[in-house]
A and B are shown apart, each in its own frame.
Chain A
Amino acid sequence: MIYMDNAATTRMSERAFEAMRPFFMEQYANAAGTYSFANASKEAVETARGQIARVIGAKPAEIFFTCGGTESDNWALKGVAQAYAAKGKHIIISAIEHHAILHSAQALEKQGWDVTVMPVDETGMVSAEAIDAAIRPDTVLVSIMAANNEIGTVEPLAAIGEVCKKHGVLFHTDAVQAFAHIPLNVDEMHIDLLSASGHKFHGPKGVGFLYVRKGVKLTPFMDGGAQEKKRRAGTTNVAGIVGMGAAAEEAAANMEETMAKVSAIRDHMIARIEKEIPYCRLNGHRTERLPGNVNFCFRFIEGEGMLMLLDAHGICASSGSACTSGSLDPSHVLLAIGLPHEIAHGSLRMTLSEATTMEEADKAVDALLEIIPRLRSMSPLYEDFVRQQA
């Protein structure tokens, strides 16, 4: 099998898995326990908090554990909105945010908040200048993702953070795809809140965190016990947090090397596809791009068929076509970068990891060389196109 869906989830790192292991059968204490048996759990959670904080230049006390990226995103938007409602009811997001942000913003809209959705350019880039112009006296929060999950575009966080700081507006970033993959620093980028998810960087599923800058108010999302300084109730997921901490530390330690290695394979795939497959389009920014993201639209064909034929070759990938989105519309990200529906239906995303080899990359491109002409030979759109060319 060739796994090229690392933006969906990753294989757990051996080191993270081993770090978690004792916290199931041996050190199973509730971290809130007062007995000494709970000490190892408590310490392990605090160690993980430190491991994660270091990756983004935060203080450990500013890291709050959640059950994943979706919870972190929901909490950041809804928690800030409620805590700052007296200041104003306007928030700014981008058109290419993950559904966890888009739908949270829509939920706020129903409750009377005003939401401005920033457009993106054809590479998926949000403009910091446009955000500068969109901020109003009643704006409380700007939420722009660090890097897009579909097309891999890395947003100008430092410039956006600068604008937010200038206006005294809070800045949240959904860094689910970026954390532990590319350098992020909450102080240099003026980030007030940051969401991430363990399983996107070789940690376990079901655990994530929200970075909340000291002094930022946030109403709790989960009501209950006094965990996480009364800000996030629920029994501490010790094993998950430990695994996430270990994975974050490992990824951060190898980040430079991983970025160089993975982006070289990415660029090789992009170059081969552009050279060897006609009527394709690279989606996303050519250079401001996640190291592991390859995303193309192939004209005249539909994404699901590509995925099924790739699967027959043992290759796991994903698509933004309607058939894979569960609705009649293709991905909102592909539409936001200006693609017409019929082009967006033919999208293919292959996301790499440090485990991806050059040989696997070549095998995947070789498979496409067979699959795409095959699907085009069945396509009435291609038939018409060829007829028009003749």
Chain B
Amino acid sequence: MYTEKVMDHFMHPRNVGEIENASGVGTVGNAKCGDIMRIYLDIDENQVVRDAKFKTFGCGAAIATSSMATELIIGKTVQDALKVTNKAVMEALDGLPPVKVHCSLLAEQAVNAALWDYAKKNNLTIEGLKPPVNDVDELDEEEEE
């Protein structure tokens, strides 16, 4: 049911973890539906994503898309990271079963939410950046404590 790439990123996920004092953190999804993704970004002074980490509660596809999304954005400028769409994540994984397409959307939204957090913290306007959707409010509040 899953491609070899998806299985590889599920069995050996890249970039699992947290980043202390991250430049931006985004958490999207909800536990009720069974998917929550949190992405941490470390962004340098040239607005390049130096590192990205993730934590995901969800199925195999959710973990694999988070892993792939972090891989795709590391080394990119925030502008280019913003252009990493769910389609790009899916293509990089050689596709997802139709019922799992929402996992790749969640990955895109998690990256977006982390970039939004970064922009907010630094009072930056990033062209094309939209307010996060599918945000987990209660988790955000906890992070701010």
Contact = CB atoms under 8 A, between A and B. Distances in A.
B12 to A, nearest CB: 11
B93 interface: no
B63 interface: yes
Contacts of B62: 302
Interface in A167-226: none
A379 B60 contact: no
Q: Is the interface of B mostly helix, strand, loop or mixed?
A: mixed
Interface string B49-66: 000001111111111000
B142 interface: yes
Interface in B1-35: 7, 10-11, 13, 16, 18, 27, 31-35
Contact of B36 (A304, A323, A380, A388): A380
* Residue among B34, B37, B38 with the highest chain A CB neighbour number at 10 A: B34
Given A380-B27, A380-B139, A302 B59 contact: yes
Contact of B34 (A321, A377, A378, A382): A321
A379 B56 contact: yes
Contacts of B60: 304-305, 308, 323
A314 to B, nearest CB: 14
Contact of A381 (B31, B59, B63): B31
B50 to A, nearest CB: 21
Contacts of B37: 380
Q: Is the interface of A mostly helix, strand, loop or mixed?
A: helix
A266 interface: no
A312 B18 contact: no
B56 A341 contact: no
A387 B142 contact: yes
B19 to A, nearest CB: 12
A384 B54 CA distance: 13
Interface in A132-176: none
A345 B56 contact: no
A380 B43 CA distance: 21
A279 B38 CA distance: 22
A381 B31 CA distance: 8
B124 interface: no
B33 A322 contact: yes
Contacts of B34: 302, 321-323, 328, 330, 341-342, 345
Contacts of A304: 59-60
A301 interface: yes
* Residue among B31, B56, B57, B61 with the highest chain A CB neighbour number at 10 A: B57
B10 A305 contact: yes
Contacts of A383: 18, 38, 55
A112 interface: no
Contacts of A308: 7, 10-11, 60
* Residue among B31, B35, B36, B37 with the highest chain A CB neighbour number at 10 A: B31
A377 B54 CA distance: 11
A23 interface: no
Contacts of B99: 326
A378 B36 contact: no
Contacts of A323: 34, 58-61
Interface string A314-346: 000000011100101010000000000110010
Contact of B59 (A312, A321, A341, A384): A321
A380 B40 CA distance: 11
Interface string B116-131: 0000000000000000
Contacts of A301: 57
A300 interface: yes
A326 B57 CA distance: 17
Give 4 nearest A-B pairs by CB, closest first.
A342-B31, A304-B59, A323-B59, A380-B55
Interface of B: 7, 10-11, 13, 16, 18, 27, 31-38, 54-63, 99, 139, 142
16 contacts: A300-B57, A302-B34, A304-B60, A308-B7, A309-B11, A321-B59, A328-B33, A328-B34, A330-B34, A378-B16, A378-B55, A379-B56, A379-B57, A380-B57, A383-B38, A383-B55
Given A304-B60, A321-B34, A345-B34, 19 more contacts: A300-B57, A301-B57, A302-B35, A302-B59, A302-B62, A308-B60, A309-B11, A321-B59, A322-B33, A326-B99, A341-B32, A341-B34, A342-B31, A378-B54, A378-B55, A378-B57, A380-B36, A381-B31, A383-B55
